[in-house]
Amino acid sequence: MLETSFINIHTHHSIHIDGTLSILNCFPEQIKIGNNNERGISIGLHPWHVNKDNASSMIDLIKTVASEKNVLAIGEIGLDRTIDMPLDIQEKYFIEQIEIAENLNKPLIIHCVKYFSELLSIKKRVKGSTPWLIHGFRKNRKIASMLLEQNCYLSFGEALLFDKNNQNLFIEMPLDKIFLETDDSENTISEVYNKAAHIKGLQLEVLKAKLFDNYKTVFNANK
C-alpha cells in the first residue's frame, strides 16, 4: 500500500480497483469461516439486523472470525432511531460488539441515525481506546463538533458530490479526523476524492497523503 492509494474506508461492493485500498463491509451471514482472504473487511451486526432470532449466534460468529488478520474493523454497527427496534436492544448488541473490538484492539465503523447523543453517552460510559469512525456523515456542524470533541473520525461519502450543506461542513473538517468512502453508492472513490480535494482547495496527491496518514494512525498502529 502506498500513500498514493485511494482509501475507501467503507464499501459494500466487492470489486477490486487498482490503486485503491478498500474495506469491504460484511454482514455476519456473508462471513465464511476460515476466511483466509487477503481482502480487508469489516464485520458486524448492523442495527437493522438485530431483530433476527439468531442475533446472539451472529455475535458469536463475529467473535470467532474477528481476530483474523484481514478483519480490519468491527462494523458497521451502531444505533438507528428510524427502525422499529427498542433502543435498549440495539444498545445491547452494539456494546457487545464494542467489547469485541476493544479486546482485539480494532477500530469501529459506526452506523448512526438520529441517536448521536445516545451514541456519545455509550462512548463515554465504555471508556474504550479503539478509534470510532462515523461512516456516511451527513449531519450538521453541531453534531460534527460533538463527535470530534470525543475523538471520533468522520467519514464522508457520495453526499459530498451533491449536498451543499455537506460540502460546506467538509471545508471546516480537520484533515487529521476524516476519511472518505463510497458505501453502497455507484460513484467511485476517485470521484469522491477529487470532489473532496476540490472542496478543500487541495491537490489530490496532498489529500491522498493526509488520509493515508489517518489510515496508518487508525489501523496500522493497532497491528
Interior CA angle at 217 toward 110 and 28, to 5°? 35
Q: Rule CB under 5 A: is residue 183 a binding residue for Zn ion?
A: yes
Closest CB to Zn ion among 178 and 197? 178
181 is a contact residue toward Zn ion (CB under 5 A)? no
**Contact, 178 vs 144, CB < 8 A?**
no
**Nearest residue to 108 (alpha-carbon basis) of 11, 43, 173, 157:** 43
In 3D, which of 138, 153, 130 has the Cα closest to residue 7?
Answer: 153
Residue (136 or 197) nearer to Zn ion, CB: 136
Partners of 79 in the β-ladder:
112
Region from 102-110, 140-148, 177-185, 200-208 binding Zn ion, contact rule CB under 5 A: 177-185
Only segment of 80-88, 89-97, 182-190, 191-199 that touches Zn ion (CB under 5 A): 182-190
CA pair distance 94, 77, nearest whole angstrom = 6
Of 114-122, 125-133, 166-174, 180-188: span binding Zn ion (CB under 5 A):
180-188
Cell numbers at 216, concatenated: 496508518
Nearer Cβ to Zn ion (91/183): 183
Under the binding rule (CB under 5 A), the answer on residue 158 touching Zn ion is: no
Nearer residue to Zn ion within complex by CB, 91 or 181: 181
Exposure b/e, 111-148, CB count within 10 A at least 16 = b:
bbbebbebbbebbeeeebebbbbbbbbebeeebbeebb
Q: Which is nearer to Zn ion, 46 or 195 (CB)?
A: 46
Residue number closest to Zn ion, CB atom: 183
Which of 102-110, 178-186, 189-197, 198-206 is the region at the interface with Zn ion (rule: CB under 5 A)?
A: 178-186
Residues lying near Zn ion in the complex (CB under 5 A): 183
